[in-house]
Amino acid sequence: MANNHSETERRLWAAADEFRANSELRSSEYSTPVLGLIFLRYADHRFIQAEKELEGKGSGRRTIGKEDYQAKGVMYLPPKARFSHLLSLPEGENIGKAINEAMKSVELENEELKGVLPKSYTKIDNAILVSLLKNFSQIAVDADGDKFGKIYEYFLGNFARAEGQRGGEFFTPTSLVQLIVEIIAPHHGRLMDPSCGSGGMYVQSAKFIKSRLTASRRRRRNQDDDLNHAGSPKRKSAYASGSPLNDLDPSTEISCYGQERVEETRNLCLMNLAVHGLSGDIKQGNSYYEDLHECEGKFDFVMANPPFNVDKVDKERIKDDPRFPFGMPRSDNANYLWIQLFYSSLNKTGRAGFVMANSAADARQSEMEIRKQLLQDHAVDVMVTIGPNFFYTVTLPCTLWFFDKAKSQPDASAREARIQGKSSKSLANASGSDNLSWRRDRVLFINARDTFRQVDRAHRKFSPKQVEYLANIVRLYRGEKPEFLAEEDDEFPASGSTPDPDLKATFPKLKYADVAGLCKVATLEEIEAQGWSLNPGRYVGVADREEDDFVFAERLEELNEELTVLNSEASELEERIANNVAKLLEEAT
């Protein structure tokens, strides 16, 4: 679960960014073509590998062709689309036109890519294109496929940062996505993202699965070695044979479905999937009005980062849509439309994890009634509040919501009588059905505002070990064993002032317990007493502090940050109040 960037990625980005700086192109005009070239280089890499494997397998009566490559799961590249061909074009050739033709030829030979690849290369100067081709050709051909995915992901993040508001529409910060994935644990099944952007949820889910498959295989190998060393009959492990570790294929475990309103963003998503060795059924459409996947009750996992506080959704068009089982919110705000979309897309045991505006956790009136119904249906499982500055476009904090529909199933409630006599502590650390029953009428609240790694003055992220720490709190709450797979963050390492959290120090017995200022399991009765609020701040309390145990400058910075957050939230509320007053005045006249 490393989140580090290699020297190769940084070098490639620095060169590409320098080329753009010396052109007249805006970042938004440059990003998609550059990402398209990374995609083409990846496809060329895979084609070269397959070409070597197929070499000599033809016969006098049958030559190796397109079907042979596709049988290996490789996109067929005609000669004009090969990187070597583009690099060999003579000086003075129209390189932009040649790359456009290359992209068209790839789409022609691979039906699933029809209309996906960029074809705007004639807008970019020949010299820049030649430099980009040379730059990307330096990626070692024998590099594993993961290398291209990491490069694509790194470029996506940097372009999102450069493009500001538009970047925020297609890219969710990677460490936030990783935390969502770690908590809902999508090991196997159908995965849906109805506002999928560039596809980060799918990519991180695949990485999650691959890391667990790898860890499982290594454990099995070690067990076999122990048996052999102990004098047991020597045998060859099934995990020790077969494909190497880096050939483990997450695409056999999950099926990716998605919907995206903007065509260009959908295309970015499909290319992102491809360079990570994945495929998906990603459709273009507006999720408010179009149910292109017939989502109701269909998916094992739903993950999303929808746009916050969208107004002017035509509720008349969707008021009878079964995807909104708790009715229409009266306020002109789509947050609770999204929340219902995520809920209704899950099957009976499905889990969801999504990013939401902080204000949704405390919204009143009709939105509170919808939230109440979600809680009474026992769907809400975990709430995590995140500090400011995680996004590239806004400084506001956010909240991560997690649903687990398995909590609401009759077989969980049927066990209530049998387990009533057990203490909360024992139930919190039970496993399987007993823990599910215990969690049925409870919600775990986590305060992660003080957990972050500072990237620069305006941006933060989670380190891999911070992601693991927060996810482990949820695992303990679910009665599961914690995991310790995270690697060090070499790019933004822990230090004396920003150490990585220690799960064993927080939970010495590795059993869940409420920790003031960090986490609290609240019952539905406690939540009802708080007006059905799902704001973690209302439940977790404040950590104990020694009066003199602080550095003045650090404490002042903390207070200033808290003031900034409160001012931002106040501004958001002020805007909503002004809009509501304006509507009331308009109706009155």
- For 35-73, what is each residue's pLDDT tens digit? 899 899 989 988 988 888 888 776 556 678 888 887 887
Average pLDDT over residues 436-455: 93
What is the tens place of the pLDDT at every residue in 278-296? 889 999 999 999 999 999 9
β 299-304/189-193 pair status: parallel
Is the predicted pLDDT of residue 8 greater than 90, yes or no?
Answer: no
Helix axis angle, 95-109 relative to 126-137, nearest 10°? Answer: 50
Q: 7: closest CA among 156, 166, 147?
A: 147
- Mean pLDDT of the chain, nearest integer: 83
AA identity, residue 552: F
Give the homologous superfamily in CATH for domain 166-232+293-307+339-408+441-538: Vaccinia Virus protein VP39 (3.40.50.150)
What percent of the chain stands above pLDDT 90? 47
Is the predicted pLDDT of residue 234 greater than 60, yes or no?
Answer: no
Q: Rounded to the nearest 10 degrees, how much is the dihedral formed by the CA atoms of 3, 6, 12, 15? A: 100
Q: Which residues are within 8 A (CB) of 30 and not within 5 positions of it... i.e. 6 or more apart?
A: 20, 23, 124
pLDDT of residue 184: 96
Helix axis angle, 27-54 relative to 126-137, nearest 10°? Answer: 40
Average pLDDT over residues 132-147: 74
Q: 401: closest CA among 366, 361, 373?
A: 361
Cβ atoms 109, 163 nearer than 8 A: no
Cβ atoms 408, 377 nearer than 8 A: yes
DSSP state of 277: T
**Band (425; pLDDT cuts 50, 70, 90):** very low
Residue with tokens 């746009």: 307
**Band (417; pLDDT cuts 50, 70, 90):** very low
Is the predicted pLDDT of residue 209 greater than 90, yes or no?
Answer: yes
> What does the block give as tokens for 175?
């460490």
Cβ atoms 256, 273 nearer than 8 A: yes
Is the predicted pLDDT of residue 255 greater than 90, yes or no?
Answer: yes
Provide the β-strand partners of residue 283: 259
Instruction: Count CB-CB contacts under 10 A for residue 296.
Output: 16
Q: 469: closest CA among 174, 173, 176, 179?
A: 179
DSSP state of 486: P
Give the homologous superfamily in CATH for domain 7-159: N6 adenine-specific DNA methyltransferase, N-terminal domain (1.20.1260.30)
Cβ atoms 256, 202 nearer than 8 A: yes
Domain boundaries along the sequence of the chain: 7-159, 166-232+293-307+339-408+441-538, 554-589
Q: 454: closest CA among 444, 446, 463?
A: 463
**Band (242; pLDDT cuts 50, 70, 90):** very low
What is the tens place of the pLDDT at every residue in 429-441? 554 555 888 999 9
What is the tens place of the pLDDT at every residue in 526-573? 999 999 999 999 999 877 655 555 556 655 765 666 676 677 667 767
Helix (H) or strand (E) holding 44: helix 27-54
Q: Is 428 exposed, middle or buried (CB count within 10 Å of its CB: 0-12, 13-18, 19+)? A: buried
**Can you give the pTM of this predicted structure?**
0.81
